[in-house]
Structure 1
Amino acid sequence: MQMLVGNEFRDSSDGHVINIVNPAYGTVIDTVPAATYEDVKLAIDTAVEGQKMWEEMTIRERTQKLKKFASLCLERREELGKILAMESGKPFWKEAVWELDSVAYTIEGSCEVAKHYYGKTMPIGTEPGYDHDIQFTIHEPLGVLACIIPYNFPPAIWSFKVGAALAAGNAVIVKAPSYNPLTLLKLHEMLVESGVPASVVQCITGRGSEIGNWLMADERIAGVNFTGSTEVGIDIAKNACKNLIPYQFELGGNDPFIVFEDADLDLAVKEAGDQCRNNRQCCTGSKRFIIHNSLKKEFIEKLIEEYLCKEVQGDPLDENVTMGPMISEKAAKTVEEQVKLTVEQGGVVIYGGKRTGAFFQPTIIDHVSPDTDIARDMEVFGPVWPIIGFDTFEEAVAISNHSRYGLGGGVFSRDIKTCMKAAKQLKTGHIAINGSGNFRAAELPFGGGKRMSGNSRESLSAVMDEVTQSKSIVLRYVLE
């Protein structure tokens, strides 16, 4: 498959390609170009010119095209879902097709918030010297935005970054994930088919470190929006600051899942068991299960019996399969090493723990100490449930906050005062009451409560602040 650079889909300037592998079988399903510096420069040149024309269109004209694209997503959801399942390992109906539905919703929502993102009119006669002036603000697009997409939910995360940016009049240069770029390339084909100029929606494939550096080295990039690891985010920020390029990041997490003594245990087990989606390769997936010691044994038993033992691993296109492979064998090996380290630090694997190629069994590790790596700053991006016991409210909160991360979390108690007290004290960007933090409601501001988890509030209710800038206008002496 070719990338969208310039005004057409094309190969890289030197002809080099990257193999895209089906992680379930380790077989090559397609190739994509490995972009060169010349390709990236052409993408920026094209986007800069395209953005000028795109901004001149009315919001009505832009959103008409984007809404047509959203309709196409729903029409072609099964075709796109199959591609996503094959390149990502997501079960076809349960996860891959659903993700395309979410794209359509987010794009449509982005159109609506763009049309209703109002400026402000200042009160008249409050400050001496301005009694005869009318002061107001308008919003303008930033320009060309670099959008760097992760592998775990490529279409869904892409839609949050691209939808509002385009509706507001920006051009985007998308860096597709190296492991699974095919669905995004198809989405860009559909954008062009819907009437969005190709120059406005460049989509580059290739090595992330090289492409990211080339993008950040160009002062014409007006902003960068990145979802991924904290370490990569730090590297991008270092390069972006050389040109004072603004950045919006959603980074790592090690989200707590706290079950207090008076919790509805069946509900807590359900919320913990429902987190097998995408092999727990989720930014907001609960990654530390902090369970009151009086409930810990029963919690583990029910989690295994009612959920984990019922998971079926295999080909994601098989309708009976509930868990496909991880994104790659390399990713599965990383989880394997993390589990091994946790055991060396005193944890005990009581369920699962085995890897076969890119497949990793759902795994429960009990007797995890609060001072271990997994209980603090080691983010496990895979199907692992570390269990950490506690006795007091203060202990649970302290364990939760003893991490450099602060993305999300969940607390369980029948006492709403306990829940709200915990929600107030936990240093995270979002909290679920009697639910896991493993959610991303499209309307709700989403982002880290600590800087190592990012600085963005990407959502339909907040994203317009991140893709536009305010301009103040004064009509002097018009009321004399």
Structure 2
Amino acid sequence: MNMLINGAFVPSCTGAVIEVTDPYTGNLLDTVPSASKEDSDQAVEAARRAFPGWSRTPVFDRACLARRFLSLVETNREDLAACLSRESGKKIAQSRIEVNNILLSWNLFIEKARHLYGTILPPGLEAGQAHNLVAVNRVPLGVIACILPFNFPCNLFSQKVAPALLSGNCVIIKPATDNPLTVLRLGALLKEAGFPDGTIQVLTGRGASLGDILASHPKIDAISLTGSSEVGIHVAQTAAPTLKKVMLELGGNDPFIVLPDADLDAAVKEAVTARFFYSGQICCAPKRYLVHSCVYEAFLEKLTRAVSGIHCNDPMSEEPGMGTLISE
């Protein structure tokens, strides 16, 4: 599956590709381009050309395109969920929830975009301004790079791309190396919905190379990353010379605290879900369990019994269980 640059699905200029495999079976699902600096430059230039027209497009018209996109997601939701499960190792029930979250998130941002009001500063706030009424309006920033993680590509696609597009920015989306296919399909649906060429680019490649290119690019105005703290520090340092805006959502500490008066059955159920949802590959999954000494033994016994009942099985199976890790 090719990447999306200026409204066309294209290979890399170099012809280099990355294999995408099913982490459960090990089978090859597809290949995607490994974007080069030349590919990235083409995407950035396309976005910059599209920005003047898109930034002047009324919010109402942007919202109409977004709703058309959501209609296409609704039509293709089962195919999207299946694609996400196969390339991510995520249980199909969890993938369906994530695809449904696209509808929830985009509708929220559509409504929010209609309320990006300006501010009126009354006369007389400064010397010599007794008769001046000042209007402050929000304006689009420009070209925004959105770097997505592997664990919740649809959720983070929505949280980064929807507000950027609806507020009049152009986006360059970099999905995770291991599971880019669902995001590429979402890019295709955005194109099908009628978003102008250049407003959306989807570049595939390895984070260490493509991420650095985007973070350091002088014609990208902001970068939004969800990933590890180490990668976040690196991206911030790489972006610093260009003074672009940097938005980071990074790893957490996440203690799970059990107090003496806790309902232990409820605590264990929550502890297992929080730690083992998507095979534990979540930044906010509990890293430490702090259990009061007076309930420690009882909690441990119940937790051990619950965890022993978890079994890995086919991510596409409707049976309860846990999927696979994204990679070895």
Q: TM-score range by the shorter chain?
A: over 0.9
For residue 216 of structure 1, report the CA deviation from its aligned partner: 2.5
For 1:210 and 1:70, the matched residues in 2 are separated by 32
For residue 59 of structure 1, report the CA deviation from its aligned partner: 0.3
Identify the residue that residue 120 of structure 1 maps to in structure 2: 119
For 2:292 and 2:149, the matched residues in 1 are separated by 34
For residue 243 of structure 1, report the CA deviation from its aligned partner: 0.7
Identify the residue that residue 351 of structure 1 maps to in structure 2: none
- TM alignment of 1:96-175, pairs within 5 A: 96-175=95-174
For residue 300 of structure 1, report the CA deviation from its aligned partner: 1.6
Structure 1 residues 126 and 218 mapped into 2: Cα distance closer, same or farther (>3 Å)?
Answer: closer
Identify the residue that residue 57 of structure 2 maps to in structure 1: 57
For 2:311 and 2:54, the matched residues in 1 are separated by 47
For 1:9 and 1:126, the matched residues in 2 are separated by 53
Identify the residue that residue 264 of structure 2 maps to in structure 1: 265
For 1:13 and 1:57, the matched residues in 2 are separated by 32
Higher relative contact order (Cα pairs below 8 Å, separated by 6+ residues) = 2
For 2:45 and 2:128, the matched residues in 1 are separated by 45
The structure where helix makes up a greater share of residues is 2
Q: In the alignment, residue 231 of structure 1 is paired with which amino acid?
A: E
Identify the residue that residue 450 of structure 1 maps to in structure 2: none
For 2:197 and 2:91, the matched residues in 1 are separated by 31
Structure 2 unaligned residues grouped into runs of 5+: none
For 2:38 and 2:243, the matched residues in 1 are separated by 23
1:83 aligned onto 2:86 = no
Identify the residue that residue 473 of structure 1 maps to in structure 2: none
- TM alignment of 1:15-30, pairs within 5 A: 15-30=15-30
For 1:15 and 1:219, the matched residues in 2 are separated by 25
Identify the residue that residue 303 of structure 2 maps to in structure 1: 303
SS in 2 for 1:221: coil
For 1:262 and 1:31, the matched residues in 2 are separated by 53
Deviation string 1:48-105 (CA, Å, 9 cap, x unpaired) is: 111221112100000110111122212211100000000000111x201110000111
Structure 1 residues 321 and 18 mapped into 2: Cα distance closer, same or farther (>3 Å)?
Answer: farther
Contact 2:7/2:191 (CA < 8 Å) preserved in 1?
no
For 2:262 and 2:126, the matched residues in 1 are separated by 55
Deviation string 1:201-257 (CA, Å, 9 cap, x unpaired) is: 100001111112222332111100000011111111111001111100011112111
For 1:189 and 1:309, the matched residues in 2 are separated by 42
SS in 2 for 1:286: coil
For residue 321 of structure 1, report the CA deviation from its aligned partner: 4.1
Q: Which moved more, 1:261-270 or 1:52-61?
A: 261-270
SS in 1 for 2:46: helix
SS in 1 for 2:119: coil
Identify the residue that residue 347 of structure 1 maps to in structure 2: none
Identify the residue that residue 241 of structure 1 maps to in structure 2: 240
Contact 1:233/1:251 (CA < 8 Å) preserved in 2?
yes
Contact 1:21/1:30 (CA < 8 Å) preserved in 2?
yes
Deviation string 1:422-459 (CA, Å, 9 cap, x unpaired) is: xxxxxxxxxxxxxxxxxxxxxxxxxxxxxxxxxxxxxx
Question: How many percent identity over aligned positions?
Answer: 39
For 1:211 and 1:120, the matched residues in 2 are separated by 39
For 1:304 and 1:104, the matched residues in 2 are separated by 37
Contact 1:90/1:96 (CA < 8 Å) preserved in 2?
yes
Structure 1 unaligned residues grouped into runs of 5+: 330-480
1:290 aligned onto 2:290 = yes
Contact 2:63/2:166 (CA < 8 Å) preserved in 1?
yes
RMSD, matched Cα: 1.2
- TM alignment of 1:280-429, pairs within 5 A: 280-305=280-305, 307-329=306-328
For 1:63 and 1:322, the matched residues in 2 are separated by 39
Q: In the alignment, residue 69 of structure 2 is paired with which amino acid?
A: F
Identify the residue that residue 433 of structure 1 maps to in structure 2: none
Q: Which moved more, 1:176-185 or 1:74-83?
A: 74-83
For 2:120 and 2:53, the matched residues in 1 are separated by 28
Identify the residue that residue 196 of structure 2 maps to in structure 1: 197
Structure 1 residues 242 and 127 mapped into 2: Cα distance closer, same or farther (>3 Å)?
Answer: closer
For 1:2 and 1:315, the matched residues in 2 are separated by 28
Question: Between Structure 1 and Structure 2, whose CA radius of gyration is higher?
Answer: 1
For 1:273 and 1:239, the matched residues in 2 are separated by 38
Contact 1:86/1:317 (CA < 8 Å) preserved in 2?
yes
For 1:319 and 1:264, the matched residues in 2 are separated by 30
For residue 310 of structure 1, report the CA deviation from its aligned partner: 2.9
1:47 aligned onto 2:47 = yes
Length-normalised TM-score, structure 2: 0.97
For 1:78 and 1:88, the matched residues in 2 are separated by 15
